[in-house]
A and B are shown apart, each in its own frame.
Chain A
């Protein structure tokens, strides 16, 4: 294992401390547990708080989207494992500005249990919560079982839209409805080209022979839904666009936001190869790309690979994507 690391067991606490030290104007920890991080001006009076959370190893996912016009707080778990209900509860109390708190996170078993338990704890303190889970990975379950899909990079769109709605003062019910609407109109698919190495074990998460790729991969270094020979960038982009357009039933005249996401060890150049072909294919189908994001938005440590997400846009969703936002890892002017 070649990693820049101190003791593996301190990996999470230490990188979070690094983020807090690097961006004191944007984020803070409200208590003495660095696994709970909130925007520097939290709680914002009268504004719905948005708490996210999940395992570490996905930066900028989860903790990177805490900021103005985005999430208000995050509970941080160990690498690829859920934060505790107490950490989620602490984040909840630290961001509650009197308008309630939305829980917005990926659809993983341990996270669901701990967020639900935190919701019970918050309820005892009189803080109302609502929950929306990202479930955009089309490869993880077929369309007729979409509520069981896992959440991957496409949850970024839900953060952006719900965060903008909270920032403009929408009610908890409204912010939750907006997050749900965006989740329902988002689809993602990805491939993995090389495994990740867990800091705790120092071992690769799976073995992949040269010339092969995992199709339908998640963000935990887990194997995909199938394996096949490595294709060209254009072939991969074509498969992706067909899967996503089909899943969202996009027709000529539709407008979309597109996110081409790298999983940690794939160069931007390769991501732009995917964007290029996806752009051409969508244009051929008469689908207009209105917003575009290319880069690392949800990673899996140093896994090589990429995903493409599409969000079908209407005027309301577009306005929320265009609203200003600022975090240590993302800004929209």
Chain B
């Protein structure tokens, strides 16, 4: 998809994502401090507002960087900083590109997952948003057909969230709950799942 389609697609996805704010707040209240709903709502609204203002000739890299800055500034939280850092890392893989297809999406996701792992000092299985993003990145890497990739990513993200239920949280505030965190879905991974679901629900060219 070209830059303009990308901009439109992100904005429409985030509008759908905010419908999950209450669910994310409740999940985060059980495991963390309950601000994830606000982070997602305030961050999404800020991104949509900034993308609306962006010039029509903005590149995909500029679009991703605009998303990162807006999301980070809307609500300075750990999750916002991690997501913004992931978007910046992803944006570097799009330098010089005007059209975003499956290989570009895969590179972006891999860089984003790597950024979260490093900055959050976390690995797959720690029961964080990384579990979802890593699963999506792996799915995109091995996908051959962009038509099916979106649905496969939705499935992978959902499976990753299911798997977090049986895990004990090892990072962030949730880790203080120790065994009590077992049985609950990770809020960050769930937020990512809701995002990719929203992404696939938006009509238009998908990748």
* B contact patch SS: helix
Does A84 interact with chain B (Cβ within 8 Å)?
yes
Q: A121-B88, A124-B88 are in contact. Are A113 and B78 (CB under 8 A)?
A: yes
Does B73 interact with chain A (Cβ within 8 Å)?
yes
State the CA gap A84–B72 with chains docked (Å): 8
Partner pick for A116 among B69, B73, B76, B85, CB 8 A cutoff = B85
Q: What 0/1 readout, one digit per residue, does chain A (170-196) give for beta carbons within 8 Å of chain B?
A: 000000000000000000000000000
Jot down 26 A-B pairs with beta carbons below 8 A, ordered by A: A84-B73, A84-B76, A85-B73, A85-B76, A85-B81, A86-B69, A86-B73, A86-B76, A109-B78, A110-B81, A113-B82, A113-B85, A114-B76, A116-B81, A116-B119, A117-B72, A117-B81, A117-B84, A117-B88, A120-B85, A120-B88, A120-B89, A121-B69, A121-B88, A124-B65, A124-B88
- Contact check, B72 vs A110: say whether CB atoms are below 8 A apart: no
Q: What 0/1 readout, one digit per residue, does chain A (269-288) give for beta carbons within 8 Å of chain B?
A: 00000000000000000000
Which residue of chain A has the shortest Cβ distance to B73 in the bound complex? A86
We find that the number of chain A residues with CB closer than 8 angstroms to chain B is 14
- Contact check, A114 vs B88: say whether CB atoms are below 8 A apart: no
Query: What's the nearest-Cβ distance from chain A to residue B49, in Å?
Result: 15
Q: Which residues of A contact B81 (CB under 8 A)?
A: 85, 110, 113-114, 116-117
For the complex of A and B, list the 10 residue pairs with the smallest distance between their C-beta atoms, beginning with the closest.
A84-B76, A113-B81, A86-B73, A120-B88, A117-B81, A85-B72, A117-B85, A114-B81, A117-B84, A113-B78
* A contact patch SS: helix
Which residue of chain B has the shortest Cβ distance to A119 in the bound complex? B85
Which residue of chain B has the shortest Cβ distance to A84 in the bound complex? B76
User: Could you tell me which B residues sit within 8 Å of A by CB distance?
Assistant: 65, 69, 72-73, 76, 78, 81-82, 84-85, 88-89, 119
Q: What 0/1 readout, one digit per residue, does chain A (77-102) give for beta carbons within 8 Å of chain B?
A: 00000111110000000000000000
State the CA gap A124–B68 with chains docked (Å): 12
Q: Which residues of B contact A117 (CB under 8 A)?
A: 72, 81, 84-85, 88
Which residue of chain A has the shortest Cβ distance to B75 in the bound complex? A84
State the CA gap A121–B68 with chains docked (Å): 10
Q: Which residues of A contact B89 (CB under 8 A)?
A: 120
Q: Which residues of B contact A84 (CB under 8 A)?
A: 72-73, 76
Q: Which residues of A contact B72 (CB under 8 A)?
A: 84-86, 117
State the CA gap A152–B144 with chains docked (Å): 53
Beyond contacts A85-B73, A85-B81, A116-B119: 18 other A-B pairs, Cβ-Cβ < 8 A, are A82-B76, A84-B76, A85-B72, A85-B76, A85-B84, A86-B73, A110-B78, A110-B81, A113-B81, A113-B82, A114-B76, A114-B81, A117-B81, A117-B85, A117-B88, A120-B85, A121-B88, A124-B88
